[in-house]
Structure 1
Amino acid sequence: MLDERKLRVLHAIINSYISSAEPIGSRTISKKYDLGVSSATIRNEMSDLEDLGYLNKPYTSAGRVPSDKAYRLYVDMLLKDPRAFIDMRKKQEIKKNLLKEAVEMDNLIENSTKILSKITNYTALAIAPQFKRSTIKHIQLIPIDEYEILVVIVSDSGIVKNTIFRIDNQIPNDQLNIISNFLNEKLKGLTIEEIGNEIDTVVFKEMYEYKNIIESIIPVINQSLEEVENVEVFADGVTNIFNFPEYSDVTKARSFLSFIEDKDLVVDILLKNTLDDFEITIGGENSIDEIKNCSLITATYKLDGDTIGKIGVIGPTRMDYFKVINAVNLLAINLNEIIGKFFMK
């Protein structure tokens, strides 16, 4: 753990770099912040912080810039500061703006990204509400001819999927009924993931003589549920990234835009962890190469206590963390209050 003086120097460097985007030298810190020590002492502390991995020294400058490790320490300390989460005036303002689009859930979430982007001046992302992972309501196998079967799948959302597939050997109607009844008994109410576990642990053991036909049907069932679960992504303020000098680098800018344009990547990063209601990933902590120069701050939103989506802000690691943490947290609180009041099941 860093001693108090090193922490004060590091915080001063981070705050200065967030506002200026320029590598920070000891003279800048000495003039800008009253740390009660000389410029030479600050320079020595900065050298130690560099050795400890909290500062990096760009080749073209004598100053230093914070590392991901420094931002992580800074953010972890911010999260312990109650001021980062309380701003009742702003909370009421956000709620007022959210209520303008509270008629339908999708509109509410889309409007949330607009508000979040406007407040923070960064890019806001959200996953449209997934009220419930789609589950099986009913399965029916219907013979068309000797070697073709119609599989009718009804999901809990009422969507019906019909698929025809061929079989190698004819199956009598009574056996098809047995398989249909068995699948309904074992798979009703299960999600895709749960179906896989049930098939491996129960179905094949109890219906081994029909193993081949069931193995052919399961991919059809999974595909039907996946089509129902197509996830929609909202993004706002995408071009805000160009307001930051580090993204005047064309390669960095293209990398960021390629991430935003790739829906699968956005969904993957947002759904990576839905267990934590509030999450911050910094720079290299991100698993996707395109955003290893970015930080992502997200919060979940819920219905009846169940997480149904995620919303957040992405920007350069030189992010105004205090401002963004406060904004994302307040928006999530308001969003959950509105959903609880107007969209209860």
Structure 2
Amino acid sequence: MSLLSERQLKVLVQVVERFNLSGEPVGSTAVSRSEGISVSSATVRNVMAELEGLGLLHQPHTSAGRVPTASGMRLYVDYLVATGQRAPNGGAPEWLASLSELEADDVSQLARSAGVLVSQLSHLTSLVSTPGLAAARLRDVQLSWLSEHRILVVLITEDGRVFNRVVRMEEPVERNSIVWMRNYLSELVTGRSLQDVRRRVRRELAASESRYRSYMRRALALSQQVLDLATGAELYVEGRLNVLDFSELAHDIARVRDVLRALEDKERVLDVLDRICEARRVQTLIGSELDLDLGDDLSLIACGYYRDGEQVGLVGVLGPLRMNYARIIPLVEHTARMLSKDSEELNSSS
């Protein structure tokens, strides 16, 4: 922003905000009539030409006004963040009320519910990652017998997360052996991290089978299947079809297909989310910064949420380049704060 004069910055802000509202190129006459712009339309036209020369504005047609480029939008978002010119808590008290009403004993379920609500409130696509269990310490394990070959396994972590899977057993399991298996596994996992438990289970399985009773061998085989599934982070995408409302994509079915396919690539999206939120504050990626090969007209706003001082997941909103950043940024920020068990983690980093 230091590269721009005060007049250039004011004109850029007006062009961006008018474009975000209308989606149409912005002319010099409209900008000259804006509050805080005390120069003629001819002067504004010259300033807009300067901004175009800097790569911050673009003129789609010779007779049209200007629209911001991805670089121009980046400068605008940085200006909003630097000056604090954002709508407090998203600019809508009902957002605060709706978010505060979310309840769940399990942080993963709470995060997923928050993602649904954020998509509904923003009318955009929300992305929520929930923590993997690799480093989590386990508080308990529960087993429920469904049939001789199907067992429901529930892992409960010390920070309140719940992971459950129905596991198919190759060998039949009698109902009356479930209690023995549960007690054995509970002693094996309680107070240990999932990583430690996985290593121990592998060692136990590698030992001579003659050392174990039948129910112990089955319990170990059962736990190995569950542990292999429970380590990775989960990604929940809500409001996928909202991309059809993005004016940038509405008439380009091929691009809509590309965006939807990209959202299905869990590992790649998680990589982007991890990169955006290494710092403890809300972050915005614009256009090619997304690194998803989706063009220059999409943006992602995301923020990490914390438990016991550690980042355990992220919440974000994917939308068009033309979105109301002044409202969406605080919405994402407040949602992350709500999901953080200790809100001071976010307050201290804002």
Report the TM-score, using the length of structure 2 for normalisation. 0.68
Q: Is the 8 A contact 2:248 2:297 kept in 1?
A: no
Which residue of the other structure, out of 185, 196, 210, is the alignment partner of 1:136?
Answer: 196
Distance 1:26 1:245 in 2: 23
Shift of the 256–22 alpha-carbon distance from structure 1 to 2, 3 Å rule, reads: same
Distance 2:134 2:311 in 1: 9
- Counterpart of 1:276 in structure 2: which amino acid? A
Q: Which residue of 2 aligns with 1:314?
A: 318
Shift of 1:130: 2.8
Q: Is the 8 A contact 1:127 1:310 kept in 2?
A: yes
Distance 2:94 2:134 in 1: 29
- Counterpart of 1:255 in structure 2: which amino acid? D
Shift of 1:318: 1.1
Q: Which residue of 2 aligns with 1:290?
A: 294
Q: Which residue of 2 aligns with 1:179?
A: none
Q: What does 1:1-345 align with in structure 2 at a 5 Å threshold?
A: 1-33=3-35, 35-59=37-61, 62-84=64-86, 86-87=88-89, 90=92, 93-94=95-96, 97-133=99-135, 134-137=194-197, 138=200, 139-140=202-203, 141-142=206-207, 160-161=223-224, 227-248=229-250, 249-277=252-280, 278-290=282-294, 292-337=296-341
- Counterpart of 1:161 in structure 2: which amino acid? Q
Distance 1:328 1:267 in 2: 17
Shift of the 290–103 alpha-carbon distance from structure 1 to 2, 3 Å rule, reads: same
Shift of 1:88: 9.4
Shift of 1:121: 1.6
| Residue range with higher mean Cα deviation, 296-305 or 257-266 | 257-266
Q: Is the 8 A contact 1:91 1:330 kept in 2?
A: no
Shift of 1:31: 3.8
Q: Is the 8 A contact 1:123 1:238 kept in 2?
A: yes
Could you tell me which runs of 5 or more consecutive residues in structure 2 were left unpaired when the two chains were aligned: 136-193, 211-216, 345-350
Shift of the 290–87 alpha-carbon distance from structure 1 to 2, 3 Å rule, reads: closer
Q: Is the 8 A contact 1:98 1:108 kept in 2?
A: no
Q: Is the 8 A contact 1:95 1:334 kept in 2?
A: no
Q: Is the 8 A contact 1:91 1:331 kept in 2?
A: no
Equivalent position SS for 1:48: helix
CA shift digits 1:226-281 (9 cap, x unpaired): 64323321121222222232121223222211112222222222223442122111
Distance 1:316 1:31 in 2: 27
Shift of the 112–142 alpha-carbon distance from structure 1 to 2, 3 Å rule, reads: same
Across the two proteins, how many residue pairs are aligned to each other?
270
Shift of 1:142: 2.5
Shift of 1:131: 4.9
Distance 1:132 1:85 in 2: 38
Shift of the 251–32 alpha-carbon distance from structure 1 to 2, 3 Å rule, reads: farther
Shift of the 104–228 alpha-carbon distance from structure 1 to 2, 3 Å rule, reads: closer
Distance 1:159 1:75 in 2: 50
CA shift digits 1:59-92 (9 cap, x unpaired): 4752211011111111111112335273498578
Q: Is the 8 A contact 2:99 2:335 kept in 1?
A: no
Equivalent position SS for 2:25: coil
Distance 1:60 1:143 in 2: 80
Shift of 1:99: 3.7
Could you tell me which runs of 5 or more consecutive residues in structure 1 were left unpaired when the two chains were aligned: 146-151, 163-223, 341-345
RMSD: 3.1
Identity %: 31
Shift of 1:335: 1.7
Shift of the 132–23 alpha-carbon distance from structure 1 to 2, 3 Å rule, reads: same
Q: Is the 8 A contact 2:277 2:302 kept in 1?
A: no
Distance 2:98 2:320 in 1: 29
Shift of 1:26: 1.2
Q: Is the 8 A contact 1:297 1:314 kept in 2?
A: yes
| Residue range with higher mean Cα deviation, 103-112 or 93-102 | 93-102
- Counterpart of 1:127 in structure 2: which amino acid? S
Distance 1:144 1:111 in 2: 44
Shift of 1:93: 4.9
| Residue range with higher mean Cα deviation, 283-292 or 9-18 | 283-292
Report the TM-score, using the length of structure 1 for normalisation. 0.69
Shift of 1:319: 1.5
Q: Which residue of 2 aligns with 1:176?
A: none
